[in-house]
Copies of this chain bind each other. A is one copy, B any other.
Amino acid sequence: MIPVLINFLLTAREISVITCTQNISNFTTEESQTTIDLASNYNTTCLEYTNIFIPNNVTCPPLNETDPYANDPPRDSRLISRSIKPYNGEPPSNLLLEKFYTPNEIFYVRNNLPVPCVHVGNYSLEVGGINLTTVQLTLRQLTTLFSPTTISAVLQCAGNRRSEMNRVKPVSGTKWTGGAIGNANWTGTNLRDILALAGFQRGNYSPDVLNTLHIQLTGLDQDPKTGTYYGASIPVSYILDDNFTPLVAYAMNGKSLTPDHGFPVRAILPGIVGARNVKWLQKITLATQEAQTIYQLEKYKAFSPSITSATVTQEDYNNTDPIMDLPVTSYLASHTDGQIVENGTILVEGYAYSGTGRHIQRVELSQDLGSNWILAEVTERTSKKLRRNWSWVFWKRNVSLSVGRNEIWVKAVDSGYNQQPQEIKDVWNFDGYLNVAYHKVVLNAS
């Protein structure tokens, strides 16, 4: 396939799909990247190119040969650093409860590699692959050729709550507590529309072939040692499901993405583990195989507790499904394990979430090691739309504490009646992924 100029391809379509009529351009260029808050109704508000991107005034500093991380952006001081090079940071979990839509500044950052600096004027996204025409989309085209779509969706790292798993038996990886998760309103272009532009039609593939295809996503973040880019993929079966809304996102809570979150565009694959939501997106490829990266083929797979990093085989990797849809989880975020609190009645609060578009049906607490369960009140949710809910819920409940040690368990049930496992040891895996066991918190009441 030879690349063709999208402008040439799409003159007619360009006219028909520019539906943005509202003028919200009363901002200076300086304001645009960081301060424009378009948090009103995204369905009627158009995120215009000039409001979210600064076309020409990003000057990328020269690469620092001795320290590829030297040009990483500054981070909010409220983030707890879990590693510096690459940077990984999470907010304290009680901060997460302050806003249903996690502020961009404290949204957890999970980088595998140095943060790439993107010159917006030079940026383009390449789209192509099996039976497709290769097209290059500039930022202006990405944001104006298509109607914008906004969805509320959680991003969660596969290693969220790994530190609890690490206490059961040591695991590798960033020792996240419960803050490697966040919820945001993401605005972008539906990935299906972009694929359609490159000629994707399910009728172009035999049914047998169609269901073996993958959509490979490549970032601009590069491994300083190997020169290879970060990349991951999702099976095309997701794209065949209209209930799924995959985005090439250019805005997060009404603002352009920050460098740490993938500026200028990233994949948002709602319900799917963070690792596939590739940041600094440079390329989308329809292919006959998964992304051929360690992030797809080796990392982000969770093995049986009987397999260790010393015993894992290539066959184990081959036979184990990549983590995609996130299973149901819940977290008591208002307090920390071992915290000293006052005796009496206290309010405990937290979040609960499930992937695959499932909503949270209920959240339950136990104060007697599971003999009895009481319902928490779900205080905030976006919807109970079946197969189309990508957001978390917030929950709360007053509990009475006795003087001394109080153990509180929390678990959630999703709309598919999926359950959380009780014991971390039963789902332990050497990389410490998907600790979705009951959250058990000890509070010491004085």
Check B426–A373 contact: CB distance below 8 A: yes
Distance in angstroms from A123 CB to nearest chain B CB is 31
Check A419–B416 contact: CB distance below 8 A: no
Check A426–B422 contact: CB distance below 8 A: yes
User: For A324, what are the chain B residues with a Cβ–Cβ distance below 8 Å?
Assistant: 386, 415-416
Confirm or deny: A306 has a beta carbon within 8 angstroms of a beta carbon on chain B.
Answer: yes
Check A321–B361 contact: CB distance below 8 A: yes
User: For A325, what are the chain B residues with a Cβ–Cβ distance below 8 Å?
Assistant: 416-417
Query: Which listed segment binds B: A24-32, A132-140, A239-247, A341-349?
Result: A239-247
With A and B bound together, what is the CA distance between A138 and B413 in angstroms? 43
From B242, B421, B425, contact of A419 by CB (8 A): B421
A residues 404-425 in Cβ contact with B at 8 Å:
411, 413, 415-423, 425
User: For A415, what are the chain B residues with a Cβ–Cβ distance below 8 Å?
Assistant: 321, 324
Confirm or deny: A305 has a beta carbon within 8 angstroms of a beta carbon on chain B.
Answer: yes
Query: Which listed segment binds B: A222-230, A258-266, A281-289, A364-372?
Result: A364-372
From B237, B362, B371, B436, contact of A243 by CB (8 A): B237
With A and B bound together, what is the CA distance between A426 and B417 in angstroms? 13
User: For A202, what are the chain B residues with a Cβ–Cβ distance below 8 Å?
Assistant: 242
Check B419–A386 contact: CB distance below 8 A: no
User: For A371, what are the chain B residues with a Cβ–Cβ distance below 8 Å?
Assistant: 425
A residues 312-347 in Cβ contact with B at 8 Å:
320-321, 323-328
Check A425–B327 contact: CB distance below 8 A: no
Q: Name A385's closest neighbour in chain B (CB-CB).
A: B211
Q: Name A241's closest neighbour in chain B (CB-CB).
A: B241
Confirm or deny: A434 has a beta carbon within 8 angstroms of a beta carbon on chain B.
Answer: yes
Check A419–B417 contact: CB distance below 8 A: no
Distance in angstroms from A354 CB to nearest chain B CB is 9
Distance in angstroms from A95 CB to nearest chain B CB is 28
Confirm or deny: A111 has a beta carbon within 8 angstroms of a beta carbon on chain B.
Answer: no
Distance in angstroms from A400 CB to nearest chain B CB is 16
User: For A162, what are the chain B residues with a Cβ–Cβ distance below 8 Å?
Assistant: none
Confirm or deny: A355 has a beta carbon within 8 angstroms of a beta carbon on chain B.
Answer: yes
Check B235–A304 contact: CB distance below 8 A: no
Q: Name A422's closest neighbour in chain B (CB-CB).
A: B422
User: For A306, what are the chain B residues with a Cβ–Cβ distance below 8 Å?
Assistant: 364, 372-375
Confirm or deny: A97 has a beta carbon within 8 angstroms of a beta carbon on chain B.
Answer: no
Check A240–B237 contact: CB distance below 8 A: no
Distance in angstroms from A211 CB to nearest chain B CB is 6
Q: Name A421's closest neighbour in chain B (CB-CB).
A: B419
Distance in angstroms from A357 CB to nearest chain B CB is 9
With A and B bound together, what is the CA distance between A308 and B150 in angstroms? 41
User: For A425, what are the chain B residues with a Cβ–Cβ distance below 8 Å?
Assistant: 370-371
Confirm or deny: A427 has a beta carbon within 8 angstroms of a beta carbon on chain B.
Answer: yes
Check A235–B386 contact: CB distance below 8 A: yes
Check A327–B237 contact: CB distance below 8 A: no
Check A362–B237 contact: CB distance below 8 A: no
Check B305–A416 contact: CB distance below 8 A: no
Check B237–A387 contact: CB distance below 8 A: yes
Q: Name A437's closest neighbour in chain B (CB-CB).
A: B419
With A and B bound together, what is the CA distance between A9 and B91 in angstroms? 62
Confirm or deny: A356 has a beta carbon within 8 angstroms of a beta carbon on chain B.
Answer: yes
User: For A373, what are the chain B residues with a Cβ–Cβ distance below 8 Å?
Assistant: 304-306, 426
Confirm or deny: A388 has a beta carbon within 8 angstroms of a beta carbon on chain B.
Answer: yes
With A and B bound together, what is the CA distance between A320 and B378 in angstroms? 13
Confirm or deny: A302 has a beta carbon within 8 angstroms of a beta carbon on chain B.
Answer: yes
From B235, B355, B417, contact of A323 by CB (8 A): B417
With A and B bound together, what is the CA distance between A324 and B417 in angstroms? 8
Q: Name A419's closest neighbour in chain B (CB-CB).
A: B421
With A and B bound together, what is the CA distance between A384 and B362 in angstroms? 31
With A and B bound together, what is the CA distance between A162 and B240 in angstroms? 36
A-B contact pairs, 27 of them (CB 8 A): A211-B386, A235-B387, A237-B387, A240-B241, A240-B243, A241-B241, A304-B373, A305-B373, A306-B373, A306-B374, A321-B384, A321-B386, A321-B417, A323-B417, A324-B415, A324-B416, A327-B419, A355-B416, A356-B356, A356-B416, A370-B426, A417-B434, A419-B419, A419-B427, A419-B436, A422-B422, A422-B426
8 cross-chain pairs, A with B, having the tightest CB-CB distances, nearest first: A419-B421, A422-B422, A325-B416, A241-B241, A321-B415, A237-B387, A240-B242, A305-B373
